[in-house]
Amino acid sequence: MNFDISQVKHPKEKLYGSIMLVVGTLIWVLVVGFIALSLLRGQLHAAMLALIYFFTFWLMSYWARALTRAYMIGHFVMVGPDQFPHLHRMVEDGARALGLREIPQTFVYNSSGVLNAMALRLVGRQRYIWLTSALLDADNDEQVRFVIGHELGHHVAGHLDEPWSYLRLPGHIIPFLGAAYSRGRELTCDRIGAFVARDLQAARTGLQMLACGSAKLNAQMNPDAFQKQELMVPGIAGFFLKIVSHYPRHTRRVEAVTQWSKTQPATNPSVRPSFAPRPA
């Protein structure tokens, strides 16, 4: 069973990601051109000022990531064969299903009640996944597997890879473009999470749990009723809220992963396992 990211990537991520790449590349070309032109004209002060800004930004970014890594190691709980082995197996199984050569290092941290998870890269080449304690308390194992698959999706889809992330970086200065690209990435990762979970119901309720946040109510959640709320979102106000948000509405995410599942042919091995029953 092979996973093909090109068949799973959401069309909006493809569209806005391409625009971000073109815009970002053009801006970088302009910056480099400005520095080169300043040097040719003998305006060393202008070129040096631009280089100082660039290296200062890079140094601050590197130092912030190094501090974050140090804090993570000292304050979070690292998942492994001897520490929460069931979570470790979920990450390993998901990474293998997606064809990731490097299994991300996973950490659990005290979130003070906030349900969240995160994929990131810090200094070096190591990939990481963060899971909050509240998320693990509220979700069941199948939902957790979906969340892990979603975060693995950011890694397998190349959202954190260099140099592409750096090339796209200037595109965020264009109003609404960066937010649209971010929403597309989240929809892609919801699909990947469903692929890893192999359980559409877990994907839908896992997304609804982000809105509900109650372990007590988890087993009672009705994703069909929740999805119908999407039809109730006011058109104009909902549109303005959407274009400034980096995450799709929870109701929209449930609707999107449900609609996508219905379009996947049973003969396609790269996507079918998302919705096939998990082996006992």
| pLDDT tens-digit map of 84-119 | 999 999 999 999 999 998 999 999 999 888 999 999
Mean pLDDT value across residues 239-246:
96
Mean pLDDT value across residues 64-83:
96
Q: If pLDDT is split at 50, 70 and 90, which confidence band does 186 have?
A: very high
- Judge whether residue 279 has pLDDT over 80: no
- For residue 19, what is the enclosing H or E element? helix 11-40
CA distance 95 to 196: 9
So what's the pLDDT on residue 113?
85
* Percent of the chain with pLDDT strictly greater than 70: 94
One DSSP character per residue, 35-71 reads HHHHHHTT-HHHHHHHHHHHHHHHHHHHHHHHHHHHH
CA distance 31 to 127: 30
Mean pLDDT value across residues 242-251:
96
Locate 27 and state its tokens: 């801006």
Could you give the count of Cα atoms lying within 13 Å of 235 in the half-sphere of its Cβ? 0
56-62: list long-range contacts, CB under 8 Å, 24+ apart. Answer: 62/123
Alpha helices in 157-199 (DSSP H): 164-168, 177-197
- Judge whether residue 40 has pLDDT over 50: yes
Mean pLDDT value across residues 173-199:
96
So what's the pLDDT on residue 162?
80
